[in-house]
Structure 1
């Protein structure tokens, strides 16, 4: 099973998202990681959405993480994909939905 993420064709597995969390926690500043950790450390696969203004902030943080020198290339690609999806949702004034 995995996530279907709005404004994206990405459908990462729950395990992939959990593993991405470890990568993000490693490269982001503490406050930045804490502000987005709830997206990646989910106890269940229950659907949720992020308001457009918050999605814009998430996109900015994910782009910073993707560009970090310690972020492995394969994780950086997924991180950029998620950042782009969050930015598209924010730009359209729509919630960024994960289901």
Structure 2
């Protein structure tokens, strides 16, 4: 069963894929930033999740930072940037970022 993510993410992602992205994020982000993302990408996300717009903005900024890091492998970089865009869309719309 996959996780559907709102605001423009096409298709669902498995919990394993989200956790594997988390492993990559943990390698490229400083620990403080990683700890902000850990509740969502640390392998224990429980859906449904409804992330308020301001928190979605913060997550999006960190995903952008990681997605632009040259140490981030290509496919994980792509996913980080897809999720970054989605988080920013939720923020810009003033809506919660939904994972179900």
Same fold (TM over 0.5): yes
TM-score by length of 2: 0.93
TM-score by length of 1: 0.94
- CA drift at 1:14: 1.0
| Contact 1:3 1:45 (8 Å CA) reproduced | no
- The verdict on how the C-alpha distance between 1:67 and 1:19 changes in structure 2, with shifts beyond 3 A counting, is same
Query: CA RMSD, aligned part only?
Result: 1.2
Gaps of 5+ in 2: none
Aligned pair count reads 99
> What residue is the counterpart of 1:73 in the other structure?
74
- CA drift at 1:43: 2.8
Moved over 4 A (4+): none
Deviations along 1:59-84, one digit per CA (max 9) or x if unpaired, are 11000000101100100000000000
Gaps of 5+ in 1: none
